[in-house]
């Protein structure tokens, strides 16, 4: 049964201060614009969902009209900060005891009066129907629980990378997050509420309850309460985690004296649950009985799940329901059971946002006219609490469980995101090079590194908005929030899926946006772009004077030297700040001499002697010298060779990375000076596309759909990825189905050390997929 238990009077009666004052700006955010409410009321927790539009500042660049205003400014383009409205989904989870307080709060802050209906699901929806209708003046419209659950599950699996994880109690990191499969169906969802429902999900709209069991969370709770006189579910679990089931259970060795060898049953296996308590004259401890009960129920559910998975030939089995929700104890026993019964063939999978599935599904039901499934959504790290935020045994920083509010916020992305069609195997692609969840040393370093850099980021954020007096105050709020996130991640590295340098960077961007610092580097980027442009013609001219062979090498060195100009890297931002005149030539001198740390230049050079590529996709990195003096001449050469070029840049700002908006203007300006670039644009052989991302790193499984289409149409046969964030922190090991070039300068001594190099070591990685001799890779070769 999916049905969550009704509110147990014994659990609701425990003293809770109902007049608690909520920190409203933290919890029910953006209520002014909220519409489309949905609520999922379970046995002890309420999950509220609403859709809201968020006004926030975005930085826009706009080309000056040079005919009229040229004299007025020597600036390249105009930067303006504009208000933009984006859609956001808010999900809040709190204890049922607070429901009235929360409803009151919502009523007081709700401005939007269009809303007439609230979608509701969960066992408690019925119980609180009257209260909700009275408080909010909305009609409660009840939705089928299972339908909501499945809808919610599909939604998170599609939209949240690292949503699913495997739980391994004794591993270095208990949570092993799964890469999102491009195809999420079919799967089995085992929902362990008071009973168990086993649902086979075949597509967005097609699912079937193929079975279930009456032995579920309610059995653990009810029977546990009878046996131990312990009323609360959580307390029962705590009892269980301290108990010894072998005092209560009859094991194989209790019957056999050892193992039952011929059947391969080990001695420690439970032969008969509670088999030892079949006596009237012995006392058993509460802990031991609770443990035995937990094993009995977990094993039973695991066994049934395996039998159903086998019968329906399904290998992906997700577990959810209040029995599982955030409880390491039950995740462990279920995992153990699944491993035992399938001998490892099926993995028990859990979901980070399992508790929200019903609310998400109910919300989606009510929002069908907005077509939320048409869009891609992204988890907002700034506004989401993260896994285990309310689990007292997991999070010692949290005082008590009651009174804590867990939140999930998802932003509607402007672009629909898909896989890069050139990935060798999309289902095994992992963007990140190092998983900091597993690598404790690396985690410690990077957490320190980001904390250390925080002062500088705050300073720059304030400096980016000189006309706004309250910027300093907002910047402090940002500092507080991001520092808190870093602290949380120190204790719970698994809070937002696998912890990576990318996720740390993205979290920082989300927090900056949260406090209306949409683009702290806008002015710096502008200044650098301006400066570099002036040097462009000279740079091109000197390249043209070189012999073909010398030029190929100089172009590569140019890209690498340009890449040294990176404010994201601490070592460089120090130099840049102390010496803004740090020049391009100086950067070249700074570069490591060949042989580089990773050096396949010779192979690349040999390849260049062969036929030109049909089309190159270039993921660019920084503004200024990097894009203008490093990348553009390289692109120019490719165009001259007869290769089409697609320049992919970020949709939104991240550090000093060049955005698509900026690159449009820059390219126009360069075209005005350079006939090759101009011809490329005119003949549509040079195309600018946006990546769909606002991250200094690159996830090739979440790229703008338009980009993917262009890549396909142009029969792209070369992918170039530039920079530390995109080619080292991510994609270092990415396998592509066409030739690829990864170029970066290591601007972090710790990372250089890790890779066996030193500061400013060069990575030049040219790869040809197996079975594809590079010399033959002529245009249009089928992939």
Partner 1 sequence: MAFNGHQREDGAIDEDETPTKQPRSDKEKPGYLSHEPSNEASASAGRATSERRTSNSTARHRRDSVKKTRPPFPWFGMDIGGTLVKLVYFEPKDITAEEEQEEVENLKSIRRYLTSNVAYGKTGIRDVHLELQDLTLCGRTGNLHFIRFPTHDLPAFLLMGRNKHFSSLHTTLCATGGGAYKFESDFRMMADLQLHKLDELDCLIRGVLYIDSVVSSGPSECYYFENPTDPDRCVQKPYTLENPYPLLLVNIGSGVSILAVYSENNYKRVTGTSLGGGTFLGLCCLLTGCSTFEEALEMASQGESTRVDKLVRDIYGGDYERFGLPGWAVASSFGNMMSKEKRESVSKEDLARATLVTITNNIGSITRMCALNENIERVVFVGNFLRVNTLSMKLLAYAMDYWSKGQLKALFLQHEGYFGAVGALLELLHPS
Interface with partner 1 by CB under 8 A: which residues?
Answer: 1, 3, 5, 8-10, 43, 123, 144, 146-147, 193-195, 197, 209, 211, 213-219, 221-223, 225-227, 231, 248-250, 252, 254-258, 260, 262-263, 270-281, 284, 289, 296, 299-300, 303-304, 307-308, 310-311, 341
Closer by beta carbon to partner 1, 122 or else 696: 122
Could you tell me the two tokens for 309? Answer: 């998975």
Q: Is 418 left (phi over 0), alpha (psi -120 to 50) or beta?
A: beta
State the DSSP code for 495: B
Cβ nearer to partner 1, comparing 1 with 698: 1
Least Cβ distance, residue 245 to partner 1 (angstroms): 10
Report, in Å, the least distance between residue 6 CB and partner 1: 8
Smallest distance, Å, CB 286 to partner 1? Answer: 11
**Residue with smaller CB distance to partner 1, 111 or 280:** 280
Please state, in angstroms and rounded to a whole number, the distance separating the CA atoms of residues 646 and 615.
Answer: 7
SS3 of 566-581 = CCCCHHHHHHHHHCCC
Q: Which is nearer to partner 1, 197 or 507 (CB)?
A: 197
Closest CA to 565 of 548, 602, 541, 590: 590
214 touches 255 (CB < 8 A): no
Which candidate, 274, 333, 326, 268, places its Cα nearest to that of 305? 333
Q: What burial letters (b/e) apply to 205-225, b meaning 16+ CB within 10 Å?
A: eebeeebbbebbbbbbbebbb
Shortest Cβ distance from residue 623 to partner 1 (Å)?
56
Which residue, 352 or 365, is less far from partner 1 as judged by CB?
365
Q: How far is the CB of 323 from partner 1 (least distance, A)?
A: 11
Least distance in angstroms from the C-beta of 9 to partner 1: 6
Tell me the DSSP string of 671-722: HHH-HHHHHHHHTT-EEEEE-S--SSS--TTSEEHHHHHHHHHTT--EEEEE
Alpha helices in 25-174 (DSSP H): 66-69, 99-109, 125-136, 145-159
- Our CB check for partner 1 shows the closer of 218 and 520 to be 218
* Interatomic CA distance for residues 32 and 25, integer angstroms: 12
Nearer to partner 1 (CB atom), residue 193 or residue 366: 193
Shortest reach from residue 303's CB to partner 1, in Å: 6
CB 436 within 8 A of CB 442: yes
Least distance to partner 1 from the beta carbon of 91, Å? 25
Between CA 631 and CA 635, with CA 633 as vertex, the angle to 5 degrees is 65
Q: Which is nearer to partner 1, 224 or 355 (CB)?
A: 224
Residue 99 to residues 2, 36, 106, Cα–Cα distance (Å): 22, 18, 10
Q: Do 36 and 367 form a contact (C-beta atoms < 8 A)?
A: yes
Please, which residue, 4 or 711, has the CB nearer to partner 1? 4
Smallest distance, partner 1 to C-beta of residue 121, A:
13
Nearer Cβ to partner 1 (270/655): 270
CB of 345 to partner 1, least distance (A): 14
């Amino acid at each position: 049964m999916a049905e969550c238990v009704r509110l147990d009077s014994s659990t609701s009666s425990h003293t809770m201060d109902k007049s608690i004052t909520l920190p409203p700006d933290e919890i029910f955010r953006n209520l002014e614009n909220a519409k489309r409410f949905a609520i999922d009321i379970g046995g002890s927790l309420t999950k509220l969902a609403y859709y809201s539009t968020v006004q926030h500042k975005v930085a826009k660049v706009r080309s000056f009209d040079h005919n009229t205003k040229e004299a007025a400014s020597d600036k390249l383009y105009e930067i303006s900060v504009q208000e933009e409205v984006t859609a956001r989904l808010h999900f809040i989870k709190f204890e049922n005891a607070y429901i009235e307080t929360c409803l009151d709060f919502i009523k007081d802050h709700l401005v939007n009066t269009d809303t007439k209906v609230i979608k509701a699901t969960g066992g408690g929806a019925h119980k609180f129907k009257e209260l909700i209708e009275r408080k909010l003046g909305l009609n409660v419209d009840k939705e089928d629980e299972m339908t909501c659950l499945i809808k919610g599950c599909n939604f998170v699996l599609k939209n949240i990378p690292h949503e699913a994880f495997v739980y391994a109690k004794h591993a270095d990191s208990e949570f092993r997050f799964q890469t999102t499969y491009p195809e999420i169906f079919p799967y089995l969802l085992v929902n362990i509420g008071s009973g168990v429902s086993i649902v086979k999900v075949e597509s967005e709209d097609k699912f079937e309850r193929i079975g279930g069991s009456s032995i579920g969370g309610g059995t653990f709770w009810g029977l546990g309460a009878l046996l131990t006189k312990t009323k609360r579910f959580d307390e029962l679990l705590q009892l269980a985690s301290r108990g010894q089931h072998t005092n209560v259970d009859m094991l194989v060795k209790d019957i056999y004296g050892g193992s039952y060898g011929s059947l391969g049953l080990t001695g420690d296996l439970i032969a008969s649950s509670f088999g030892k308590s079949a006596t009237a004259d012995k006392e058993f401890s509460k802990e031991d009985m609770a443990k035995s009960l937990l094993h009995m129920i977990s094993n039973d559910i695991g066994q049934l799940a395996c039998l159903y998975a086998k019968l329906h030939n399904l290998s992906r089995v997700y577990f959810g329901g209040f029995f599982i929700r955030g409880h390491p104890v039950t995740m462990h026993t279920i995992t153990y059971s699944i491993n035992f019964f399938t001998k490892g063939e099926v993995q028990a999978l859990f979901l980070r946002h399992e508790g929200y599935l019903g609310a998400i599904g109910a919300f989606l039901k009510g929002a069908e006219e907005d077509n939320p499934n048409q869009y891609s959504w992204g988890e907002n790290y700034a506004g989401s609490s993260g896994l285990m935020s309310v689990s007292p045994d997991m999070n010692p920083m949290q005082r008590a469980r009651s009174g804590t509010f867990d939140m999930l916020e998802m932003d509607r992305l402007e672009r629909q995101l898909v896989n890069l069609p050139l990935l060798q195997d999309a289902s095994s692609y992992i963007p990140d090079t190092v998983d900091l969840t597993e690598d404790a040393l690396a985690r410690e370093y990077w957490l320190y590194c980001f904390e250390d850099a925080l002062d500088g980021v705050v300073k720059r954020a304030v400096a980016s908005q000189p006309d706004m007096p309250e910027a300093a105050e907002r910047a402090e709020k940002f500092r507080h929030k991001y520092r808190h996130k870093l602290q949380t991640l120190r204790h719970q590295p698994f809070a937002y899926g696998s912890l990576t340098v990318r996720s740390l960077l993205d979290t920082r961007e989300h927090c900056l946006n949260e406090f209306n610092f949409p683009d702290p580097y806008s002015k710096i980027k502008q200044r650098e772009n301006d400066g570099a442009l002036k040097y462009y013609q000279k740079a091109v001219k000197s390249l043209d004077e070189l012999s073909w062979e010398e030029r190929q090498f100089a172009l590569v060195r140019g890209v690498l030297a340009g890449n040294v100009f990176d404010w994201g890297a601490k070592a460089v931002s120090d130099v840049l700040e102390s010496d803004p005149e740090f020049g391009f030539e100086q950067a070249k001198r700074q570069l490591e001499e060949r042989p580089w740390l990773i050096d396949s230049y010779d192979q690349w050079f040999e390849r260049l002697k062969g036929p030109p590529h049909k089309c190159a996709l270039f993921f660019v990195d920084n503004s200024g010298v990097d894009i203008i003096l490093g990348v553009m001449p390289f692109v120019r050469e490719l165009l001259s060779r007869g290769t089409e070029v697609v320049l992919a840049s970020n949709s939104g700002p991240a550090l000093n990375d060049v955005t698509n908006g900026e690159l449009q203007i820059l390219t126009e300006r360069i075209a005005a000076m350079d006939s090759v670039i101009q011809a490329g644009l005119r003949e549509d052989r040079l195309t600018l596309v946006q990546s769909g991302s606002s991250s200094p790193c690159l996830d090739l499984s979440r790229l703008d759909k338009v980009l993917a289409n262009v890549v396909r149409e142009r029969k792209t046969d070369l992918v170039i990825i530039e920079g530390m964030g995109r080619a080292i922190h991510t994609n270092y090991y990415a396998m592509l189905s066409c030739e690829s070039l990864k170029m970066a300068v290591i601007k972090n001594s710790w990372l250089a050390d890790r890779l066996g190099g030193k500061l400013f070591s060069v990575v030049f990685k040219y790869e040809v997929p197996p079975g594809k001799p590079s010399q033959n890779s002529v245009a249009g070769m089928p992939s």
